[in-house]
Amino acid sequence: MPALLETEIGDLVLHARGKVRDLYEVGEFLLLVATDRISAFDHVLATGIPGKGTVLTQISLFWFNFLKDIVPNHLITADLNQYPEELHDYDDELRGRSMLVKRAQMFPVECVVRGYLSGSGWKDYQATGAVCGIPLPQSLRESDKLPEPIFTPATKSLHGKHDENISFDQMVSLIGTKSATALRGLSLAIYQKASNHAESRGLILADTKFEFGTTAEGIILADEVLTPDSSRFWPRDKYAPGGAQPSFDKQFVRDYLESIHWNKQAPAPGLPDEVVKKTQEKYFQAYELLTGKSLSL
């Protein structure tokens, strides 16, 4: 099947187009469509991963239901039969990869939780002995489990720039003490429940990031949640701290781009079939491990 790289849904107003998702206005609601685009090093690549958008949507739907006792979410329905009539001509394009969601006033922060020392957290620790200003024990290795999960917020990237890690005090200055404290508590509670589930499925949830917004009902969980695009999942049986871990994400893509010495400037290159296939397999495997179900396209 070909990769869906961009959508155009009739006369609907395009509310926003992100690196992966296209967001349309549908009356008082929004239509969130996950494409098969894939980004690396802050650039959307010329080649997509067929079925990736469906995997991301179905994983998010699983987690929204799993976590609803902790925090409400923005989902209204993912059932095409319940979509407004104006969308029915686009069933083939929307099936499995779309959600009708509530509009929310989004907080301008990424809520990151880290249970293991990896990625930018590892680089920060090597330089400062801390992660986002949070002191950690000496002599930790890359991928070591932290004494307890830590909350390390970041500003949301705009116009292709990197997310920037910030301190909790900086988060307070952006959104206020009450909201910052609430989001930190929710993020840590979600991480703990999701981490326990992942562990039961043979996976380690190393770190993840959440987005929250507010509606008339209060704080809700929005966008995607606990997918391979927003989280590091490692196979537990291969866990070996002291270096990078195999993961269920786009590592094959990053490795390929490093191997061709791309300068990480536009235009972004395409991907060979083998890299596309291996990456696709990782995404589908992540869904099956997390949910216990198989996914066919």
How far apart are alpha carbons 230 and 228 in whole angstroms? 6
DSSP lists the bridge partners of residue 213 as 106, 220
How far apart are alpha carbons 115 and 112 in whole angstroms? 10
Give pLDDT tens digits along the chain (297 positions).
Answer: 799 999 999 899 999 999 999 999 999 999 999 999 999 888 999 999 999 999 999 999 999 999 999 999 999 999 999 999 999 999 999 999 999 999 999 999 999 999 999 988 999 999 999 999 999 999 999 999 999 999 999 997 655 556 788 999 999 999 999 999 999 999 999 999 999 999 999 999 999 999 999 999 899 999 999 999 999 999 999 999 999 999 988 888 988 999 999 999 999 999 999 999 999 999 999 999 999 999 877
* 8 A C-beta contact, residue 73 and residue 222: yes
The two three-digit tokens of residue 94, written as one number: 């929307």
Quickly count helices (H) and strands (E) in the chain: 7, 17
Tell me how crowded residue 60 is: count the other CB atoms within 10 A of its CB: 24
How far apart are alpha carbons 13 and 100 in whole angstroms? 14
Looking at residue 159, its pLDDT comes to 52
* 8 A C-beta contact, residue 34 and residue 53: yes
How far apart are alpha carbons 24 and 227 in whole angstroms? 22
Looking at residue 161, its pLDDT comes to 57
| Helix ranges restricted to H, the chain | 52-66, 91-94, 119-128, 168-175, 177-200, 251-259, 273-291
Looking at residue 60, its pLDDT comes to 98
Looking at residue 170, its pLDDT comes to 95
| pTM (whole model) above 0.85 | yes
* 8 A C-beta contact, residue 56 and residue 280: no
CA end-to-end span of the chain: 8
Q: Cβ contacts of residue 297 below 8 Å, gap of 6+?
A: 1, 50, 51, 54, 96
Looking at residue 296, its pLDDT comes to 79
Length of the chain: 297
At 33, which amino acid appears? Answer: V
How far apart are alpha carbons 43 and 255 in whole angstroms? 15
Look up residue 78 and give its DSSP letter. Answer: -
By CB atoms closer than 10 A (0-12, 13-18, 19+), residue 41 is middle
